[in-house]
Chains A and B, each alone.
Chain A
Amino acid sequence: DQQVKQNSPSLSVQEGRISILNCDYTNSMFDYFLWYKKYPAEGPTFLISISSIKDKNEDGRFTVFLNKSAKHLSLHIVPSQPGDSAVYFCAARTPTGGGNKLTFGTGTQLKVEL
């Protein structure tokens, strides 16, 4: 049962344009959502997060939007750069007290072309 879904396995955009990565979830107990970027042979790198009580969080070129009623979040990257090419994972946190496990989506491979 995939509780966090990224329905687009890949996305290709031109340099300078906007990249929009989408994520859907089913578990309403998730209290925090995070986006990680991953290069091959490296661990996931934290990008940006959003609390379930917010609908938008912005950090530089990265903005995450949360639509709680639709159980949907998206990551916007503007402008996209070739160095953004990587796999992007959406992750949702389950609060357990003293430790919060993450449930990951299946990832979206972003390719930013020149």
Chain B
Amino acid sequence: AAGVIQSPRHLIKEKRETATLKCYPIPRHDTVYWYQQGPGQDPQFLISFYEKMQSDKGSIPDRFSAQQFSDYHSELNMSSLELGDSALYFCASSSGGGGVSDTQYFGPGTRLTVL
């Protein structure tokens, strides 16, 4: 079965640079979530989109922005990168639109390293 696709899998950037992470949800999934997992930490919710509209916002820095496109893929844009942004970034998708059985399925993650 098709899974969530994230690209790139690994990304190395310098401080103050910009990065764009992409997420392609499971076909027919309409909701996308972004999570950040720092070293030794649990995944932290950043932001979510349902039907191309932002549906919820978590601890996402103002330097970050995201959107969901008409084909339901999503991009997380990160500017003025800081060393502390080094983390694993997971994208998840679901089809429930917030319903009771709205299970989130995760992609393999993008490992961002800021030097």
- A97 / chain B contacts, CB cutoff of 8 Å: 55, 98
Interface residues of A in 1-43 (CB under 8 A from B): 4, 31-32, 34, 36, 41-43
- A93 / chain B contacts, CB cutoff of 8 Å: 102
- Interface SS of chain A: strand
Whether the pair B42, A96 counts as a contact (CB closer than 8 A) is no
Closest to A2 in B: B42
Check A44 for interface membership: any CB of B closer than 8 A: yes
A96 interface neighbour in B56, B92, B108, Cβ under 8 Å: B56
Whether the pair A36, B45 counts as a contact (CB closer than 8 A) is no
A99 interface neighbour in B4, B35, B98, B109, Cβ under 8 Å: B98
Whether the pair B31, A99 counts as a contact (CB closer than 8 A) is yes
Whether the pair A43, B90 counts as a contact (CB closer than 8 A) is yes
B4 interface neighbour in A43, A100, A106, Cβ under 8 Å: A43
Check B95 for interface membership: any CB of A closer than 8 A: no
> How many residues of chain B are within 8 Å of chain A by beta carbon?
34
Check B27 for interface membership: any CB of A closer than 8 A: no
Check A67 for interface membership: any CB of B closer than 8 A: no
- B94 / chain A contacts, CB cutoff of 8 Å: 100
- B96 / chain A contacts, CB cutoff of 8 Å: 100
The CA-CA distance from A102 to B58 in the complex, in Å, is 10
- B72 / chain A contacts, CB cutoff of 8 Å: none
Whether the pair B55, A98 counts as a contact (CB closer than 8 A) is yes
B27-46 CB mask vs A (1 if < 8 Å, else 0) is 00001010100000111110
- A68 / chain B contacts, CB cutoff of 8 Å: none
Whether the pair A104, B43 counts as a contact (CB closer than 8 A) is yes
Check B105 for interface membership: any CB of A closer than 8 A: yes
B75-114 CB mask vs A (1 if < 8 Å, else 0) is 0000000000000001010101110101111111101000
